[in-house]
Amino acid sequence: MKPQIAVLTGPTASGKTALGALLAEKLNGEVVSADSMQIYRGMDIGTAKPSPEETRGIPHHMIDVADPEENYSVARYVEEASRCVDKIISRGKLPVVVGGTGLYIDSLISGRSFAQAPGDDFLRSKLNRQYDHLGGQAMLEKLAKVDPRRAEKLHPADKKRIVRALEVWHLTGKTITEHDEETKKIPPRYQAACIALSFKDRRHLYERIDRRVDEMVGQGLFREVEALLQRGLPENCTAMQAIGYKEAAAALKGRISWQEAVETIKQETRRYAKRQLTWLRRNPRLFWVLWDKKPDYDFALRLSTEFLGSLGIK
């Protein structure tokens, strides 16, 4: 039997952090983050990293494991996160994977990551220049013509993954989607019990997102971004493409007003949440916990532990 893990996912601002810590506390577990931006040191406010109070004293892994200058990959996440998961299991505890980066979660469970096609520095440089010249939306449209399924999962600002998907197609004649389909025949590394959080009415999720953005700004999001820029972090690096960071950087550079930046952050976060929900709804094995107007953690904890208990996780 494959090692068993619990997974808690859902769109941004759906309450995963709080419920994840409660689940780990209840089930003698430790949390493994599956957030593609919380991996970066010095990016705390805009990524909504859990505070010491929010962790409830539960160990949280895969947070602050890379510098923003690093080119962090899905393959590296799978390698490092699976090592954390295996150590937690060896201690007789339950790994509780918590996060909204679907690609990280799917890849961790399966033990696979992006297609392991060879790279080509000349081709990649050419595609990077095309991206810079044409823009992310145009390059995403190019990808959609050959690999619509992968294009649907990516944001125009995700330069690295758009370029990589096009590079794989040019080098191998196959899309990343086709490569991934071929590797699905390999048995998954873990047996995962997956819970997803959201709201019955998406309007309440969007209102919660807007409030959280306002809170981030009040907590010093712009000061955090300014500190990153002052230490020499390039605006075009992967970490600075995160929602909240690129808009704040544009405001700090005078290209847009602060109010425009805040409204754009809210809008882009709502769009991101919508894409996350689209991804999640493709998985028929998810156990959904849907909030009314606001989270009810006692209710969710009871439902979640009953679901996990039915699968032998107690």
Show me where the domains of the chain are located.
4-112+186-310, 121-183
The predicted pLDDT at position 116 comes to 55
Q: What is the Cα 119 distance to its own chain's centre?
A: 24
For 142, left (φ over 0), alpha (ψ -120 to 50), or beta?
Answer: alpha
Query: Please, what is the average pLDDT of the chain?
Result: 93
Fold of 4-112+186-310: Rossmann fold (3.40.50)
Percentage of the chain exceeding pLDDT 90: 81
Q: pLDDT, tens digit, for every residue of 101-140?
A: 998 999 999 987 555 555 667 788 899 999 999 999 999 9
The predicted pLDDT at position 144 comes to 94
* pLDDT level of residue 186 (50, 70, 90 thresholds): confident
C-beta of residue 275 within 8 angstroms of C-beta of residue 76: no
* pLDDT level of residue 174 (50, 70, 90 thresholds): confident
| Whole-number Å distance between alpha carbons of 37 and 46 | 9
In the predicted model, what is the mean pLDDT of residues 295-299? 97
Q: Please name the amino acid found at residue 218.
A: G
In the predicted model, what is the mean pLDDT of residues 15-42? 97
In the predicted model, what is the mean pLDDT of residues 58-76? 93
Rg over alpha carbons for the chain, rounded to the nearest Å, is 19
C-beta of residue 19 within 8 angstroms of C-beta of residue 206: no
Residue-wise over 100-132: b if at least 16 C-beta within 10 A, else e?
bbbbbbbbbbbebbbbebeeeeeebeebbeebe
pTM comes to 0.82
Q: pLDDT, tens digit, for every residue of 228-246?
A: 999 999 998 989 999 999 9
| Whole-number Å distance between alpha carbons of 217 and 209 | 12
Percentage of the chain exceeding pLDDT 70: 97
| Whole-number Å distance between alpha carbons of 112 and 107 | 5
We find that the CATH architecture of domain 121-183 is Orthogonal Bundle (1.10)
